[in-house]
Amino acid sequence: MSEGISPVESTEREHMSLPFRMGDVTLNRPVPDSVPGADVMNKLLIEWMFQFKLLTAEWNKSHYTTLVFGFIAFILGSVSTELFDGGDATVTGVNGVLAINGFQFFQILISVLFWTWFAFQAWNLFPVMRVHAISLLAMWNGLVFAQVFFHSNNGSFPIGAQLSNMMEGTLIVLVVLFFVFFFWKAVIETRDLHVEIHHLHEDVRVMEAEMAEHSLAGWTALFASWIALVLISSWAGVHHIATLGDSQTMFLVLHLITGIASLPLLFIVLWYPQRMLGDDANVRTKAALDASLELEGPSTHAMQTDSKCPECGSKSPLHRLDNGSVAHPCLSSGCTAQVVIGESCPSCKKKMSSRLQCSSCGVNAPALDYFPDQEAW
């Protein structure tokens, strides 16, 4: 009697650059099935454990040093002697800047320099996410300004809030949430494209396993937590200033705790997609990618990559487009269109198979086997 064959062999999915895989992570004490939503919670816990283990294995001195600079910049920008003596609300504009004494001016200058260094290091550490890193910091500042508008006419906001006094702040919050949503969507759709291109397989079970291996559910939860922390920190900081006469120091403490906690979360939000997608990825939505390809016209440039038969080493006409897709000249007689593997020809509508036959030795192999293994995840 023949032995049963495993539906999906683990060796079919190699991630050579990873010290371990998400599928290998297990929980010592999983949430019991009797608890509502246990499956979701266990899934999130596994992903967070995987991210934490990968983080501790790969973050270096630059990551931690940059975070320290961020902590110091945040504290210097949040705590000042004016918080305790109240300052002079009647002095504004240039006179207000000139009224800052030497130590406080030095403190502001150091905070600005440290924040600049923090942004510069984030730009260098996360090349794939560098634009998004700056935009997320800008969104953080936008939420702070929104709270200033919310509290300008109502120091006890949100208590006693009136819609007529919330127009400016609400507009800023909506704009920030709009860009936050499209950042999240860009990461998700870039991940989907990454799996479709780099993990293409005829076996649906293998594709499902790869999508599970590249799950972003835990990352999404951390991103949502970062947004919540930034909102709380922004509100607490401005609320402390607006209610300074009431000596409510707990708001300052809440502002410091949530603000400091949001910095490592921001780093994880930027680092994990880059680690998953590789340093050559371009994080953007599918709509933005389609628009870019449409602007380039039908003569989409191909990346210069050497494709050759995995059996005999003969050169192949397979090539990668600049969006990462694998393309091949149409196999229909008389048709010269370039067709993305797994899709239909834009001219004759004939579908291009994910497996191709070598013209030299006749071996039939998956299209991705014709390229050197350069996978990052």
- Each residue's pLDDT expressed in tens, for the chain with a length of 377 residues: 334 333 334 333 444 467 778 878 888 888 888 888 888 898 999 899 999 999 999 899 999 999 999 999 999 988 876 666 555 555 656 666 666 666 777 888 899 999 999 999 999 999 989 899 999 999 999 999 999 888 888 777 888 778 777 888 899 999 999 999 999 999 998 888 878 777 766 677 777 777 788 889 999 999 999 999 999 999 998 888 887 655 578 888 999 999 999 999 999 999 999 988 877 778 887 777 777 666 655 444 444 456 778 778 788 888 777 666 778 888 876 677 788 888 887 777 778 887 888 878 878 888 777 776 544 45
pTM of the model: 0.73
Spatial contact of 271 and 55, defined as CB atoms under 8 Å apart: yes
Are residues 322 and 218 part of one domain? no
Domain membership flag for residue 93: no
Domain membership flag for residue 149: yes
> In terms of residue numbers, what domain contains 121?
18-28+37-86+100-286
Are residues 274 and 205 part of one domain? yes
- Whole-Å CA distances, 299 to 56, 285, 302, 307: 45, 22, 9, 20
Residues 110-136 as b/e (b if ≥16 CB within 10 A, e otherwise) read: ebeebbeebbebbeebbebbbebbebb
Q: Domain total for the chain?
A: 2
Spatial contact of 233 and 139, defined as CB atoms under 8 Å apart: no
Tokens of 121: 């290091």
Q: Which of 42, 31, 47, 39 lies closest to 276 in space, CA to CA? A: 47
Phi and psi torsions of 315, nearest 5°: -65, 145
Sign, Cα dihedral of 186, 189, 195, 198: negative
d(CA 184, CA 190): 10
Are residues 327 and 237 part of one domain? no
Domain boundary (258, 286, 314) is at 286
| Single-letter amino acid, residue 367 | A
Domain membership flag for residue 291: no
